[in-house]
Chain A
Amino acid sequence: GQNIDQPTEMTATEGAIVQINCTYQTSGFNGLFWYQQHAGEAPTFLSYNVLDGLEEKGRFSSFLSRSKGYSYLHLKELQMKDSASYLCAVMDSNYQLIWGAGTKLIIKP
Chain B
Amino acid sequence: GAVVSQHPSWVICKSGTSVKIECRSLDFQATTMFWYRQFPKQSLMLMATSNEGSKATYEQGVEKDKFLINHASLTLSTLTVTSAHPEDSSFYICSARSDSGRFSYEQYFGPGTRLTVT
Could you tell me which A residues sit within 8 Å of B by CB distance?
Answer: 30-31, 33, 35, 40-45, 48, 87, 91, 95-97, 99-102
- In this complex, which of B1, B43, B49, B99 has the most chain A Cβ atoms within 10 angstroms of its Cβ? B43
- In angstroms, Cα B39 to Cα A102, docked, is 13
| In the complex, chain B residues whose CB is within 8 Å of the CB of A33 | 106
- In angstroms, Cα B88 to Cα A109, docked, is 37
- In angstroms, Cα B91 to Cα A92, docked, is 25
Could you tell me which B residues sit within 8 Å of A by CB distance?
Answer: 1, 34, 42-44, 46, 49, 91, 93, 97, 99, 105-112, 114
- In angstroms, Cα B49 to Cα A101, docked, is 20
Contact (Cβ within 8 A) B43 A95: no
Chain A: interface secondary structure? loop
| In the complex, chain B residues whose CB is within 8 Å of the CB of A91 | 105
- In angstroms, Cα B110 to Cα A44, docked, is 9
Contact (Cβ within 8 A) A45 B111: no
Distance (Å) between the CB of A103 and the closest chain B CB?
10
| In the complex, chain B residues whose CB is within 8 Å of the CB of A30 | 105
30 A-B residue pairs with CB within 8 Å: A30-B105, A31-B105, A33-B106, A35-B109, A40-B91, A40-B112, A40-B114, A42-B93, A42-B109, A42-B110, A42-B112, A43-B44, A44-B109, A45-B106, A45-B109, A48-B106, A87-B43, A87-B44, A91-B105, A95-B97, A95-B99, A95-B105, A96-B49, A97-B34, A97-B46, A97-B107, A99-B46, A100-B43, A101-B43, A102-B43
- In angstroms, Cα B108 to Cα A41, docked, is 14
| Beta-carbon nearest neighbor of A43 in chain B | B109
| In the complex, chain A residues whose CB is within 8 Å of the CB of B106 | 33, 45, 48
- In angstroms, Cα B79 to Cα A12, docked, is 39
In the complex, which of the residues A31, A45, A48, A99 contacts B43, with contact meaning CB atoms closer than 8 Å?
Answer: A99
